[in-house]
Amino acid sequence: MKTMEEKEEDKSRHERWKQTTKALLGAVLRETCQPYSISVVPDDLRKSNETAYMPKVVSIGPRYKGKKELLPMEEIKWRCVTSLLSRTLIGQDTIDTCLEAVIDLDATVRASYVDVIALDRYELAKTMVFDGCFLLELLICESKLDLDVPIPFNGNSPGIEVKKMEYVVSDLMLLENQIPIFILETLFVNLLGSSNQMREFIQNLALRLFGYSGKLMVRSTSHFLDVAYSYIEMGWTDKMIEENEVRLSLGAIDTKLQEQPQQHLNRCSRRLKAAGITIQCRNNDDGINFKFTTQFDKSEGILQIPTLIIKQTTEVKWRSFIAWEHHKKKLKTSSSSVADRRSICTSSALLFRYLICCSSDVQLLKDTRVIKDDTYKSNRDLVAFFHSMASGVDHGIIDHKHTTMCLDLNTFRTKHYLTKIYILQRHYFSKISDWCYSYYKDLKRGYIFAAYFISFLTFVQTFYAMLAYHFPPK
């Protein structure tokens, strides 16, 4: 028999279950949030570099809350929250209103996350308000709104220094380190009053935080990662591709193309050059990666690849975009936009993986300004970097445009066979050189292990010799 307390707990759980279900349906109807939009990184992606998907400095939301290595940032977050509250007419008393407003959204907040949140409704509301106010202060400071609602007595916001920390900004783009953007809307209304097109306003402030210029032409996003991804995906729209995709969805394209297996590039950059293909860069003037797509002109034999700028946080952002594409692909519908059905960041990871098989390929892409490395890694380290980026990706989410381009590159033929032989000879020499270097490193590690093992045996022998000297057998 269940006790009264257990019955009450069951009843409370039943009520929460109904509230969550209703909130989920309401969110879909009102489009105030996207259910299950804050996902977890697939295990296949996480295996290659687990730490790349985890925050380095700041925790946002419930998943990494309380992690020991992230606690030093909590004090700075509190200062940002205090600065935001000082901008209001009432001051810190407005926090009560925010907590009451957010706790009423408990079921909707939980519906936004794929995994189950262990926090109770009060602790979850506190986390949402605290992290949401911190993010709002980062958005407001140094914006036009900073002049409209200034900090009293000409105070400076701590958010100004926080925004200069590159790892903080990259942490805000991690898939598992998000809160729903409707939380920021709710807090904004309660703290600073309502505004027309509230979500669009917050989205465009977030773009400035990430260093993107321009405005987002998307009505609604789910969280900060979605904001950044939606901005770069605006550059992928192509009228010819749009028409092609529409015909594909209507079954007007030859069924052989639809049934065509996923192709991958089987020629590295040196072999493409040997085949007579010219590799050129598409200039990336604003320094934003993945804003443009790779194009191959089969008639001219020209492959144009957008410049990839490698910085300290490039890997984290790239992996976050790839993880988001994997999540979005699972939720795609026939009514989705063309850009929404494409996976440019995943395609780019696979493209570079197959373009680069040794250090000479990296050097060729550097010479053509396709790769701009601001981290000054060695070419061999960059080979490992690009191979790691493509590890665990789902080839099934690659679109037909990428598949067709790879097929065209694989079948392109050259007439200059002497040039081809010369290039391939140099290329294979570079591959052998890389293999020898790798073998040397493994051998060196083996020698180090052997040296440690011999030292250990020497220590054991000395220990027993001393033991025998001081305690001789009777």
> Is 289 inside a domain boundary?
yes
Q: Which structure tokens are listed for 171?
A: 């942490």
pLDDT category, 444, cuts 50, 70, 90? low
- Inside any domain, residue 351: yes
Domain that holds residue 263: 257-418
pLDDT of residue 111: 87
What's the pLDDT at 40?
93
What is the structure's pLDDT at 422? 54
> Is 321 a member of any domain?
yes
Domain boundary among 367, 392, 418: 418
Q: What pLDDT band is residue 377 in, cutting at 50, 70 and 90?
A: very high
Residue 282 CB coordination number (10 Å): 15
Which residues are paired to 309 by β-bridges? 372
Q: Is the pLDDT of residue 239 over 50?
A: no
Are 209 and 80 found together in one domain? Answer: yes
d(CA 37, CA 19): 19
Phi, psi dihedral angles at 310 (to 5 degrees): -100, 115
Cβ partners under 8 Å of residue 416, min gap 6: 276
What does the pLDDT read at residue 456? 72
Residue among 50, 186, 24, 32 at smallest CA distance from 114: 24
- Same domain membership, residue 193 and residue 52: yes
Q: Is the pLDDT of residue 467 over 80?
A: no
Instruction: Tell me, yes or no, whether 227 and 264 share the same domain.
Output: no
Quote the pLDDT of residue 147: 86
Q: Are 112 and 222 in contact (CB under 8 A)?
A: yes
Which pLDDT band holds residue 27 (cuts at 50, 70, 90)? low
Q: How many CB atoms lie under 10 A from the CB of residue 98?
A: 22
Nearest Cα residue to 224 out of 234, 212, 241: 212
The yes-or-no verdict on residue 57 having pLDDT over 60 is yes
Inform me whether the pLDDT recorded for 179 exceeds 90.
yes
The pLDDT of residue 310 is: 95
Does the residue 7 lie in any domain? Answer: no
The whole-number average pLDDT for the span 233-258 is: 52
DSSP H stretches of helix in 251-343: 255-258, 269-274, 314-331
Q: Do 273 and 317 fall into the same domain? A: yes
Return mean pLDDT, the chain: 82
On the CB side of 73, CA atoms within 13 Å amount to 24
**pLDDT reading at 445 higher than 50:** yes
Q: Return the bridge partners of 310, or none.
A: 373
Same domain as 319, residue 187: no
Residue 274: pLDDT band (50, 70, 90) is confident
Contacts of 39 (CB under 8 A, 6+ apart): 114, 175, 176, 323, 327
Residues 298-314: pLDDT tens digits? 888 999 999 999 999 99
- Report the pLDDT value the prediction gives residue 56, as an integer from 0 to 100: 95
Same domain, residue pair 50 and 171:
yes
Of 131-140, 276-285, 359-368, the range with the highest mean pLDDT is 131-140
Instruction: Over range 249-261, report the average pLDDT.
Output: 45
**Among 418, 448, 464, which residue terminates a domain?**
418
What percentage of residues in the chain have a pLDDT greater than 70? 76
Same domain, 357 and 413: yes
Q: Residue 110 corresponds to which amino acid?
A: R
Residue 439 scores a pLDDT above 70: no
pLDDT at 424: 61
Residue 450 pLDDT grade (very low, low, confident, very high; cuts 50, 70, 90): low
Residues whose CB falls within 8 Å of the CB of residue 442, separated by 6 or more in sequence, listed in order: none
Confidence of residue 399 (pLDDT cuts 50, 70, 90): confident
- Do 274 and 221 fall into the same domain? no
Q: Is the pLDDT of residue 330 over 90?
A: no
**What are the φ/ψ torsions at residue 216 (nearest 5 degrees)?**
-85, 125
Question: Residue 361: inside a domain, yes or no?
Answer: yes
Provide the residue type at 235 as one letter. G
The better pLDDT of the pair 463, 18 is held by 18
What is the rounded average pLDDT of the residues 222-237?
87
Do 195 and 307 belong to one domain? Answer: no
Q: Is the pLDDT of residue 142 over 80?
A: yes
Same domain for 167 and 266: no
User: How many domains does the chain contain in total?
Assistant: 2
Residues 96-138: tens digit of each pLDDT: 999 999 998 998 899 899 999 999 999 999 999 999 999 999 9
Judged against a pLDDT cut of 50, whether residue 253 lies above it is answered with no
Which tens digits make up the pLDDT trace of 30-40? Answer: 666 677 889 99
Q: Is residue 212 located within the same domain as residue 354?
A: no
Q: How far apart are CA 401 and CA 245, in angstroms?
A: 9
Of the pLDDT bands very low, low, confident and very high (cuts 50, 70, 90), residue 240 is very low
Say if residue 125 is in the same domain as residue 214.
Answer: yes
pLDDT of residue 336: 47
Residue 458: inside a domain, yes or no? no
Please indicate, yes or no, if residue 11 is contained in any of the structural domains.
no
CA angle, 319 then 324 then 326, to 5°: 95
- Return the ∠ at Cα 247 (arms to 242 and 253), rounded to 5°: 125
Q: What is the mean pLDDT of residues 237-257?
A: 47
Residue 249 has pLDDT above 50, yes or no: no
